[in-house]
Amino acid sequence: DQQVKQNSPSLSVQEGRISILNCDYTNSMFDYFLWYKKYPAEGPTFLISISSIKDKNEDGRFTVFLNKSAKHLSLHIVPSQPGDSAVYFCAASAGRSGNTGKLIFGQGTTLQVKP
Amino acid sequence: NAGVMQNPRHLVRRRGQEARLRCSPMKGHSHVYWYRQLPEEGLKFMVYLQKENIIDESGMPKERFSAEFPKEGPSILRIQQVVRGDSAAYFCASSPQSLGETQYFGPGTRLLVL
């Protein structure tokens, strides 16, 4: 039962353009969403998060949008840079609803930014 | 400000041996989570611990796997009688005191079972 899905295994964009990574979830108890970036042979690095009480959170080049009615979130990176090339994981938690806070991860999307 | 530390980074074991993976959380963090990433898959939750307590082990295999987070020292994930299917990257994450906070990950331990 895949509660968090990233349906695009890979994405390729040109440097300077916008990268949009998508994530869908099924569990309405999720109340906290995160995006992580991962390079090979390293641990996931936290990028940005959003609480379910918001619909947008911005941090520099990264913006996360949450559409609760559609159970969909997206990560926008603009402008994209070659150093952004990595695997991006969407994760969700129901921790603030009184559960244990464990993260449920999507399968990941490999982003390639071409110079 | 040291991040989450894990050791060893790489571990090779033969079938039937024991594997011990260690995790030291970030300073000031008292919540530790273990995740496993099998090849070509996303990360899967295994266990959540606080000092001296296992809070949620719903993701742990029923046999051969155990975890602890003692009052002093690192958290340990122990795998007894390893099999080839245990080969994976094991990641530890920590978070501050309250639930629902961001988890910060260590570099992982890559376990290879021959």
Mutant choice from A35, A100, A107, A110 vs B, greatest count of B C-beta within 10 A: A100
Region B38-48: mean pLDDT is 90
Q: What is the pLDDT of residue B91?
A: 98
Measured between beta carbons, the chain A residues lying within 8 angstroms of B99 are 95-96, 98-101
Residue B62: CB partners within 8 Å, gap ≥ 6? none
Quick one: tokens of B70? 């003692």
- In this predicted structure, the answer to whether residue B97 has a pLDDT above a threshold of 90 is no
- Gap between the Cα atoms of B7 and B10, Å rounded: 8
Tens-place pLDDT, residues A45-69:
999 999 999 999 999 999 999 999 9
- Percent pLDDT > 90 in chain A is 86
Q: Any CB–CB contact under 8 A between A3 and chain B? A: no
More confident residue, A25 or B27: A25
Side chain identity at residue A52, one-letter code:
S
Backbone phi, psi, residue A11, to 5°? -150, 135
Region B81-94: mean pLDDT is 96
Q: What is the pLDDT of residue A26?
A: 96
